[in-house]
A and B are shown apart, each in its own frame.
With several copies, the nearest count.
Chain A
Amino acid sequence: MINKFVATLAEAMAGIQDGSRILLAGFGAGTPELLMRGLIEQGAKDLTLIANAGGRMDGPIAELLATGHVRKLVCSFVRADSEAGKRMQAGNLEVEIVPQGTLAERIRAAGSGVQAFYTPTAADTLLAEGRETRVINGRNCLLEYPLAGDVALVDAWQADRWGNLTHRDSARNFNPVMAMAAPLTIVQTRHVVELGAIPPEHVHTAGVFVQRVLHVPMLHSPA
Protein backbone atom coordinates (compact mmCIF):
# COMPACT_ATOMS: atom_id res chain seq x y z
CA MET A 1 0.00 0.00 0.00
CA ILE A 2 1.39 3.38 -0.96
CA ASN A 3 1.47 5.62 2.08
CA LYS A 4 3.40 8.88 1.89
CA PHE A 5 2.46 10.13 5.35
CA VAL A 6 5.23 10.57 7.88
CA ALA A 7 4.61 10.90 11.60
CA THR A 8 7.06 13.57 12.70
CA LEU A 9 8.72 16.72 11.47
CA ALA A 10 12.11 15.07 11.89
CA GLU A 11 11.01 12.19 9.67
CA ALA A 12 9.70 14.64 7.09
CA MET A 13 13.06 16.42 6.88
CA ALA A 14 15.32 13.37 7.18
CA GLY A 15 18.24 13.06 4.80
CA ILE A 16 18.47 16.59 3.42
CA GLN A 17 22.12 16.98 2.46
CA ASP A 18 24.48 19.91 2.87
CA GLY A 19 24.61 21.83 -0.41
CA SER A 20 20.98 21.11 -1.29
CA ARG A 21 18.87 23.36 -3.45
CA ILE A 22 15.62 24.05 -1.58
CA LEU A 23 12.47 25.14 -3.41
CA LEU A 24 10.26 27.04 -0.96
CA ALA A 25 6.67 27.65 -2.06
CA GLY A 26 4.31 30.35 -0.80
CA PHE A 27 3.30 33.89 -1.62
CA GLY A 28 1.73 35.64 1.37
CA ALA A 29 -0.29 32.47 1.83
CA GLY A 30 0.63 28.84 1.26
CA THR A 31 4.10 28.98 2.82
CA PRO A 32 5.06 25.70 4.54
CA GLU A 33 6.23 27.44 7.71
CA LEU A 34 6.55 24.37 9.89
CA LEU A 35 8.70 22.62 7.30
CA MET A 36 10.96 25.68 7.30
CA ARG A 37 11.33 25.31 11.03
CA GLY A 38 12.10 21.64 10.42
CA LEU A 39 14.77 22.57 7.93
CA ILE A 40 16.44 24.81 10.51
CA GLU A 41 16.32 22.03 13.12
CA GLN A 42 17.56 19.47 10.61
CA GLY A 43 20.67 21.59 10.20
CA ALA A 44 21.69 21.10 6.56
CA LYS A 45 24.24 23.75 5.51
CA ASP A 46 25.48 25.50 2.36
CA LEU A 47 21.93 25.67 1.02
CA THR A 48 20.57 27.41 -2.04
CA LEU A 49 17.10 28.73 -1.31
CA ILE A 50 14.73 29.31 -4.24
CA ALA A 51 11.63 31.29 -3.32
CA ASN A 52 9.46 34.06 -4.68
CA ALA A 53 10.93 36.73 -2.43
CA GLY A 54 13.62 37.17 0.19
CA GLY A 55 11.30 37.76 3.14
CA ARG A 56 11.41 40.46 5.78
CA MET A 57 13.25 40.99 9.09
CA ASP A 58 11.25 38.18 10.67
CA GLY A 59 9.40 35.11 9.44
CA PRO A 60 10.63 31.72 8.27
CA ILE A 61 13.03 32.90 5.56
CA ALA A 62 14.67 35.42 7.90
CA GLU A 63 15.02 32.71 10.57
CA LEU A 64 16.62 30.31 8.13
CA LEU A 65 18.98 33.00 6.81
CA ALA A 66 19.94 33.91 10.37
CA THR A 67 21.36 30.42 10.89
CA GLY A 68 23.96 31.17 8.22
CA HIS A 69 23.06 27.94 6.48
CA VAL A 70 22.02 29.60 3.22
CA ARG A 71 24.81 30.37 0.77
CA LYS A 72 22.65 31.60 -2.09
CA LEU A 73 19.16 32.97 -2.55
CA VAL A 74 17.32 32.85 -5.89
CA CYS A 75 14.19 35.02 -5.93
CA SER A 76 12.38 37.86 -7.66
CA PHE A 77 12.45 40.44 -4.91
CA VAL A 78 14.73 41.43 -2.03
CA ARG A 79 13.84 44.27 0.32
CA ALA A 80 16.73 46.41 1.53
CA ASP A 81 15.31 46.28 5.05
CA SER A 82 15.13 42.51 5.33
CA GLU A 83 17.44 39.86 6.71
CA ALA A 84 18.22 38.90 3.11
CA GLY A 85 18.86 42.51 2.09
CA LYS A 86 21.19 43.13 5.03
CA ARG A 87 23.13 39.92 4.42
CA MET A 88 23.37 40.70 0.72
CA GLN A 89 24.76 44.17 1.44
CA ALA A 90 27.21 42.73 3.96
CA GLY A 91 28.45 40.29 1.35
CA ASN A 92 27.26 37.27 3.33
CA LEU A 93 24.63 36.11 0.89
CA GLU A 94 24.83 35.53 -2.84
CA VAL A 95 21.60 36.66 -4.51
CA GLU A 96 20.32 35.82 -8.00
CA ILE A 97 17.38 37.99 -9.00
CA VAL A 98 14.96 36.33 -11.45
CA PRO A 99 11.79 37.99 -12.73
CA GLN A 100 8.83 36.32 -11.07
CA GLY A 101 7.32 34.88 -14.24
CA THR A 102 10.69 33.63 -15.44
CA LEU A 103 11.19 32.10 -11.99
CA ALA A 104 7.90 30.19 -12.23
CA GLU A 105 8.61 29.16 -15.82
CA ARG A 106 12.16 27.98 -15.04
CA ILE A 107 10.83 25.86 -12.18
CA ARG A 108 8.12 24.45 -14.44
CA ALA A 109 10.78 23.74 -17.08
CA ALA A 110 12.74 21.72 -14.54
CA GLY A 111 9.62 19.72 -13.73
CA SER A 112 8.58 19.17 -17.32
CA GLY A 113 11.78 18.26 -19.12
CA VAL A 114 12.26 21.54 -20.99
CA GLN A 115 16.04 21.96 -21.18
CA ALA A 116 16.06 25.72 -21.89
CA PHE A 117 13.73 28.38 -23.26
CA TYR A 118 13.73 31.85 -24.75
CA THR A 119 11.71 34.66 -23.21
CA PRO A 120 11.56 38.40 -23.94
CA THR A 121 11.25 39.06 -20.19
CA ALA A 122 14.34 40.92 -18.92
CA ALA A 123 16.09 40.64 -22.31
CA ASP A 124 16.81 44.37 -22.50
CA THR A 125 17.68 44.90 -18.86
CA LEU A 126 20.66 44.75 -16.51
CA LEU A 127 19.63 41.18 -15.68
CA ALA A 128 20.61 40.17 -19.22
CA GLU A 129 24.17 41.49 -18.99
CA GLY A 130 26.71 38.98 -20.21
CA ARG A 131 24.04 36.43 -21.02
CA GLU A 132 22.94 34.75 -24.22
CA THR A 133 20.17 36.47 -26.18
CA ARG A 134 18.57 35.83 -29.55
CA VAL A 135 16.13 37.77 -31.69
CA ILE A 136 13.04 35.67 -32.46
CA ASN A 137 10.31 37.15 -34.65
CA GLY A 138 11.81 40.58 -34.12
CA ARG A 139 11.82 40.34 -30.32
CA ASN A 140 14.98 40.21 -28.29
CA CYS A 141 14.84 37.12 -26.07
CA LEU A 142 16.93 35.82 -23.20
CA LEU A 143 17.92 32.16 -22.90
CA GLU A 144 16.78 30.74 -19.57
CA TYR A 145 17.65 27.37 -18.02
CA PRO A 146 15.58 25.12 -15.74
CA LEU A 147 15.66 25.72 -12.01
CA ALA A 148 15.35 22.41 -10.18
CA GLY A 149 15.48 21.71 -6.49
CA ASP A 150 16.88 18.78 -4.61
CA VAL A 151 14.03 19.30 -2.17
CA ALA A 152 10.72 21.15 -2.49
CA LEU A 153 8.84 22.38 0.58
CA VAL A 154 5.13 22.59 -0.16
CA ASP A 155 1.94 23.55 1.66
CA ALA A 156 -1.45 21.91 1.05
CA TRP A 157 -5.02 22.15 2.25
CA GLN A 158 -5.88 18.46 1.77
CA ALA A 159 -3.74 15.41 1.10
CA ASP A 160 -4.41 11.69 0.69
CA ARG A 161 -2.00 8.80 1.19
CA TRP A 162 -0.94 8.81 -2.49
CA GLY A 163 0.12 12.46 -2.06
CA ASN A 164 -2.70 13.96 -4.12
CA LEU A 165 -3.13 17.55 -2.94
CA THR A 166 -5.50 20.46 -3.01
CA HIS A 167 -4.47 24.01 -2.19
CA ARG A 168 -6.83 26.61 -0.81
CA ASP A 169 -7.63 29.82 -2.70
CA SER A 170 -4.49 31.83 -3.53
CA ALA A 171 -2.42 29.61 -1.23
CA ARG A 172 -1.99 27.53 -4.41
CA ASN A 173 0.63 29.89 -5.99
CA PHE A 174 4.04 28.17 -6.37
CA ASN A 175 3.03 24.96 -4.60
CA PRO A 176 1.99 22.78 -7.59
CA VAL A 177 4.87 24.06 -9.73
CA MET A 178 7.61 23.53 -7.15
CA ALA A 179 6.23 20.08 -6.29
CA MET A 180 7.07 19.07 -9.89
CA ALA A 181 10.63 20.27 -9.79
CA ALA A 182 12.38 18.26 -7.07
CA PRO A 183 12.97 14.54 -6.54
CA LEU A 184 12.06 14.99 -2.86
CA THR A 185 8.87 16.99 -2.37
CA ILE A 186 7.86 17.33 1.26
CA VAL A 187 4.34 18.53 2.04
CA GLN A 188 2.68 19.94 5.12
CA THR A 189 -1.09 19.59 4.95
CA ARG A 190 -3.90 20.98 7.04
CA HIS A 191 -6.27 18.11 6.31
CA VAL A 192 -5.79 14.40 5.77
CA VAL A 193 -8.45 12.77 3.60
CA GLU A 194 -9.21 9.24 2.47
CA LEU A 195 -7.93 8.12 -0.91
CA GLY A 196 -10.66 9.08 -3.37
CA ALA A 197 -12.06 11.91 -1.25
CA ILE A 198 -10.52 14.44 -3.63
CA PRO A 199 -12.48 14.00 -6.88
CA PRO A 200 -10.11 13.08 -9.73
CA GLU A 201 -11.01 16.23 -11.69
CA HIS A 202 -10.22 18.45 -8.68
CA VAL A 203 -6.71 17.31 -7.78
CA HIS A 204 -4.40 20.36 -7.90
CA THR A 205 -1.09 18.53 -7.41
CA ALA A 206 -0.96 14.87 -8.40
CA GLY A 207 0.62 12.41 -6.00
CA VAL A 208 3.28 11.52 -8.55
CA PHE A 209 5.04 14.75 -7.60
CA VAL A 210 4.95 14.13 -3.84
CA GLN A 211 7.24 11.97 -1.68
CA ARG A 212 6.38 12.79 1.95
CA VAL A 213 3.36 14.32 3.65
CA LEU A 214 3.19 15.62 7.22
CA HIS A 215 -0.16 16.38 8.83
CA VAL A 216 -0.06 19.80 10.49
CA PRO A 217 -3.59 20.31 11.74
CA MET A 218 -3.10 23.32 13.97
CA LEU A 219 -0.75 25.50 12.02
CA HIS A 220 -3.22 27.47 9.93
CA SER A 221 -5.97 29.69 11.18
CA PRO A 222 -9.21 27.75 11.59
CA ALA A 223 -11.50 27.12 8.64
Chain B
Amino acid sequence: MADIEFQPLDRNGIAARIAQDIPEGWFVNLGIGIPTGVSDFVPMDREVIFHAENGVIGIGPAPAPEDINPFLVNAGVQPITLRTGGAYVHHADSFAIARGGHLDLCVLGAFEVAQNGDIANWARAAGEPTKQVGGAMDLAVGAKRLWVAMEHNTKGKGQSRIRRVCSYPLTAKGVVKRVYTDLAVLEVTDRGFLVLDMVPGLTRDALQARTEAELIWP
Protein backbone atom coordinates (compact mmCIF):
# COMPACT_ATOMS: atom_id res chain seq x y z
CA MET B 1 0.00 0.00 0.00
CA ALA B 2 1.22 3.43 -0.92
CA ASP B 3 1.08 4.76 2.61
CA ILE B 4 3.89 7.19 2.11
CA GLU B 5 1.93 9.15 -0.41
CA PHE B 6 -0.75 10.49 1.95
CA GLN B 7 -0.78 12.38 5.20
CA PRO B 8 -3.53 11.57 7.74
CA LEU B 9 -5.16 14.61 9.29
CA ASP B 10 -4.23 15.44 12.86
CA ARG B 11 -6.96 16.15 15.39
CA ASN B 12 -7.07 19.81 14.44
CA GLY B 13 -7.21 18.82 10.81
CA ILE B 14 -10.30 16.71 11.43
CA ALA B 15 -11.89 19.61 13.32
CA ALA B 16 -11.08 22.02 10.49
CA ARG B 17 -12.52 19.62 7.91
CA ILE B 18 -15.78 19.45 9.83
CA ALA B 19 -15.90 23.24 10.22
CA GLN B 20 -15.87 23.57 6.40
CA ASP B 21 -19.21 21.77 6.22
CA ILE B 22 -21.12 23.82 8.78
CA PRO B 23 -23.13 26.62 7.16
CA GLU B 24 -24.02 29.93 8.71
CA GLY B 25 -27.05 29.88 10.96
CA TRP B 26 -26.73 26.32 12.24
CA PHE B 27 -27.18 25.65 15.94
CA VAL B 28 -24.50 23.16 16.96
CA ASN B 29 -23.36 21.14 19.98
CA LEU B 30 -19.75 19.96 20.04
CA GLY B 31 -18.79 16.99 22.20
CA ILE B 32 -15.62 16.62 24.23
CA GLY B 33 -12.37 15.81 22.40
CA ILE B 34 -11.83 16.47 18.71
CA PRO B 35 -15.31 18.06 18.30
CA THR B 36 -14.58 20.83 20.82
CA GLY B 37 -11.92 22.12 18.44
CA VAL B 38 -14.34 22.57 15.54
CA SER B 39 -15.46 26.04 16.66
CA ASP B 40 -11.90 27.34 16.36
CA PHE B 41 -12.13 26.79 12.61
CA VAL B 42 -15.45 28.55 12.05
CA PRO B 43 -14.73 32.23 11.36
CA MET B 44 -16.64 34.61 13.64
CA ASP B 45 -18.28 36.31 10.66
CA ARG B 46 -19.90 33.02 9.66
CA GLU B 47 -22.48 33.02 12.44
CA VAL B 48 -22.78 29.50 13.83
CA ILE B 49 -24.29 29.24 17.30
CA PHE B 50 -22.62 26.74 19.60
CA HIS B 51 -24.49 25.14 22.50
CA ALA B 52 -23.15 23.45 25.62
CA GLU B 53 -25.12 20.96 27.72
CA ASN B 54 -24.69 23.03 30.87
CA GLY B 55 -26.95 25.73 29.47
CA VAL B 56 -24.71 27.96 27.36
CA ILE B 57 -26.02 29.18 24.00
CA GLY B 58 -23.53 31.06 21.82
CA ILE B 59 -20.07 29.96 22.93
CA GLY B 60 -17.33 32.36 21.79
CA PRO B 61 -13.56 31.95 21.48
CA ALA B 62 -11.51 30.68 24.42
CA PRO B 63 -10.57 33.48 26.84
CA ALA B 64 -7.07 34.80 27.41
CA PRO B 65 -5.80 33.52 30.77
CA GLU B 66 -6.33 36.89 32.42
CA ASP B 67 -9.93 37.03 31.16
CA ILE B 68 -11.09 33.70 32.59
CA ASN B 69 -14.53 33.91 34.21
CA PRO B 70 -14.90 31.12 36.81
CA PHE B 71 -18.69 31.23 36.38
CA LEU B 72 -18.52 30.40 32.69
CA VAL B 73 -17.47 26.93 31.52
CA ASN B 74 -18.42 24.53 28.74
CA ALA B 75 -19.57 20.91 29.06
CA GLY B 76 -15.94 19.86 29.43
CA VAL B 77 -15.59 22.32 32.33
CA GLN B 78 -13.12 24.44 30.34
CA PRO B 79 -13.28 28.23 30.61
CA ILE B 80 -15.08 29.81 27.66
CA THR B 81 -16.52 33.12 26.57
CA LEU B 82 -20.02 34.00 25.45
CA ARG B 83 -20.47 35.80 22.19
CA THR B 84 -22.77 38.76 21.67
CA GLY B 85 -26.30 37.41 21.31
CA GLY B 86 -25.68 34.42 23.57
CA ALA B 87 -27.91 33.32 26.42
CA TYR B 88 -27.98 31.08 29.48
CA VAL B 89 -30.64 28.51 30.34
CA HIS B 90 -30.86 25.91 33.10
CA HIS B 91 -29.98 22.26 32.67
CA ALA B 92 -33.47 20.95 31.92
CA ASP B 93 -34.05 23.69 29.35
CA SER B 94 -30.62 23.02 27.88
CA PHE B 95 -31.49 19.36 27.36
CA ALA B 96 -34.93 20.31 26.08
CA ILE B 97 -32.93 21.95 23.29
CA ALA B 98 -30.75 18.88 22.82
CA ARG B 99 -33.50 16.26 23.08
CA GLY B 100 -36.24 18.27 21.40
CA GLY B 101 -34.68 18.33 17.95
CA HIS B 102 -33.48 21.93 18.06
CA LEU B 103 -29.81 21.24 17.31
CA ASP B 104 -29.10 21.34 13.58
CA LEU B 105 -25.98 19.35 14.33
CA CYS B 106 -24.20 17.52 17.10
CA VAL B 107 -20.61 16.37 16.64
CA LEU B 108 -19.47 13.62 19.01
CA GLY B 109 -16.35 11.60 19.45
CA ALA B 110 -16.70 7.81 19.34
CA PHE B 111 -14.92 4.50 19.80
CA GLU B 112 -16.83 2.92 16.93
CA VAL B 113 -19.48 3.66 14.33
CA ALA B 114 -21.37 0.95 12.43
CA GLN B 115 -22.69 1.06 8.89
CA ASN B 116 -26.29 1.19 10.13
CA GLY B 117 -25.50 4.41 12.05
CA ASP B 118 -24.98 2.84 15.48
CA ILE B 119 -22.53 4.72 17.69
CA ALA B 120 -20.48 3.45 20.67
CA ASN B 121 -18.70 6.13 22.66
CA TRP B 122 -19.10 5.59 26.40
CA ALA B 123 -17.65 2.22 27.41
CA ARG B 124 -15.38 -0.44 25.97
CA ALA B 125 -17.15 -3.25 27.81
CA ALA B 126 -20.30 -3.72 29.84
CA GLY B 127 -18.52 -4.12 33.17
CA GLU B 128 -15.69 -1.63 32.91
CA PRO B 129 -14.85 0.50 35.95
CA THR B 130 -15.81 3.77 34.36
CA LYS B 131 -19.25 5.00 33.47
CA GLN B 132 -18.77 7.99 31.25
CA VAL B 133 -22.20 8.49 29.73
CA GLY B 134 -22.64 12.22 30.35
CA GLY B 135 -24.97 13.80 27.80
CA ALA B 136 -23.95 11.72 24.78
CA MET B 137 -27.02 9.47 24.73
CA ASP B 138 -29.32 12.51 24.88
CA LEU B 139 -27.47 14.36 22.15
CA ALA B 140 -27.17 11.32 19.92
CA VAL B 141 -30.92 10.69 19.75
CA GLY B 142 -32.02 14.33 19.99
CA ALA B 143 -30.07 16.28 17.38
CA LYS B 144 -31.34 16.71 13.82
CA ARG B 145 -27.96 15.45 12.53
CA LEU B 146 -25.25 13.49 14.30
CA TRP B 147 -21.73 13.60 12.92
CA VAL B 148 -18.84 11.71 14.48
CA ALA B 149 -15.23 12.89 14.64
CA MET B 150 -12.62 10.24 15.42
CA GLU B 151 -9.45 8.55 14.26
CA HIS B 152 -10.14 5.94 11.60
CA ASN B 153 -8.15 3.24 13.41
CA THR B 154 -7.20 2.47 17.00
CA LYS B 155 -3.81 3.73 18.10
CA GLY B 156 -2.21 0.48 19.21
CA LYS B 157 -3.33 -2.32 16.92
CA GLY B 158 -4.64 -0.13 14.14
CA GLN B 159 -8.06 -1.77 14.26
CA SER B 160 -10.85 -0.21 12.27
CA ARG B 161 -13.36 1.90 14.17
CA ILE B 162 -15.59 1.95 11.08
CA ARG B 163 -17.50 -1.27 11.62
CA ARG B 164 -20.09 -3.56 10.12
CA VAL B 165 -21.43 -3.95 13.66
CA CYS B 166 -20.27 -2.16 16.80
CA SER B 167 -18.43 -4.39 19.26
CA TYR B 168 -18.66 -1.95 22.18
CA PRO B 169 -21.82 -1.06 24.16
CA LEU B 170 -24.01 1.28 22.15
CA THR B 171 -24.67 4.93 22.88
CA ALA B 172 -27.56 5.02 20.42
CA LYS B 173 -28.87 3.01 17.48
CA GLY B 174 -28.98 4.16 13.88
CA VAL B 175 -28.37 7.85 14.47
CA VAL B 176 -24.99 8.70 12.87
CA LYS B 177 -25.30 10.55 9.56
CA ARG B 178 -21.64 11.18 8.82
CA VAL B 179 -18.16 10.26 10.11
CA TYR B 180 -15.09 12.49 9.80
CA THR B 181 -11.83 10.64 10.37
CA ASP B 182 -8.16 11.39 9.85
CA LEU B 183 -8.49 9.60 6.51
CA ALA B 184 -11.93 10.23 5.06
CA VAL B 185 -15.44 11.58 5.27
CA LEU B 186 -18.08 8.83 5.24
CA GLU B 187 -21.83 9.24 4.87
CA VAL B 188 -24.09 6.63 6.46
CA THR B 189 -26.57 5.50 3.79
CA ASP B 190 -29.12 2.71 3.47
CA ARG B 191 -26.48 0.74 1.57
CA GLY B 192 -23.64 1.40 4.04
CA PHE B 193 -20.74 3.85 4.28
CA LEU B 194 -20.49 6.10 1.23
CA VAL B 195 -17.08 7.77 0.88
CA LEU B 196 -17.57 11.52 0.37
CA ASP B 197 -13.95 12.58 0.66
CA MET B 198 -10.46 11.23 1.33
CA VAL B 199 -7.17 12.87 2.27
CA PRO B 200 -5.06 13.65 -0.78
CA GLY B 201 -2.98 10.73 -2.03
CA LEU B 202 -5.05 8.03 -0.30
CA THR B 203 -6.37 5.34 -2.63
CA ARG B 204 -9.68 3.51 -2.47
CA ASP B 205 -7.87 0.26 -1.79
CA ALA B 206 -5.76 1.75 0.98
CA LEU B 207 -8.84 3.20 2.68
CA GLN B 208 -10.77 -0.06 2.36
CA ALA B 209 -7.77 -1.95 3.78
CA ARG B 210 -7.98 0.18 6.90
CA THR B 211 -11.75 -0.20 7.19
CA GLU B 212 -13.63 -3.24 8.52
CA ALA B 213 -16.96 -2.20 7.01
CA GLU B 214 -17.37 -2.39 3.27
CA LEU B 215 -17.11 1.04 1.66
CA ILE B 216 -19.17 2.26 -1.26
CA TRP B 217 -18.16 4.94 -3.70
CA PRO B 218 -20.01 7.76 -5.39
Contacts and interface: CB of A to CB of B under 8 A. Distances in A.
Tell whether any CB of A sits under 8 Å from a CB of B in the complex.
yes
Contacts of A108: 92, 96
**Of residues A85, A164, A171, which shows the largest number of chain B Cβ atoms within 10 Å of its Cβ?**
A171
B130 interface: yes
A121 B49 contact: no
Interface string A76-119: 11111000010011000001011111101101101111100001
Contacts of B169: 125-126
A200 B58 CA distance: 10
Contacts of B139: 101
Interface in B161-193: 169-173
Nearest to B73: A28
Interface in B1-56: 24-25, 27, 45, 47, 49, 51-56
A173 interface: yes
A206 interface: yes
Contacts, number: 199
Contacts of A76: 133-135
Given A108-B96, A125-B171, A177-B90, A171 B71 contact: yes
Contacts of B173: 124, 140
A209 B93 CA distance: 12
The range of chain A's interface size is: 35 or more
B138 A101 contact: yes
A140 B173 CA distance: 10
B85 interface: yes
A113 B100 contact: yes
A168 B47 CA distance: 25
Interface in B47-104: 47, 49, 51-58, 69-74, 77, 82, 84-92, 94-102
5 tightest A-B contacts by CB? A101-B138, A113-B99, A112-B96, A101-B95, A28-B77
18 contacts: A76-B133, A77-B133, A80-B128, A85-B130, A101-B95, A111-B96, A112-B92, A119-B99, A125-B137, A125-B171, A126-B169, A127-B137, A160-B85, A170-B52, A170-B73, A172-B55, A200-B88, A207-B85
Interface of A: 1-2, 27-30, 52-53, 76-80, 85, 88-89, 95, 97-102, 104-105, 107-108, 110-114, 119-127, 140, 160-162, 164, 167-177, 180, 195-196, 198, 200-201, 203-204, 206-209, 220-221, 223
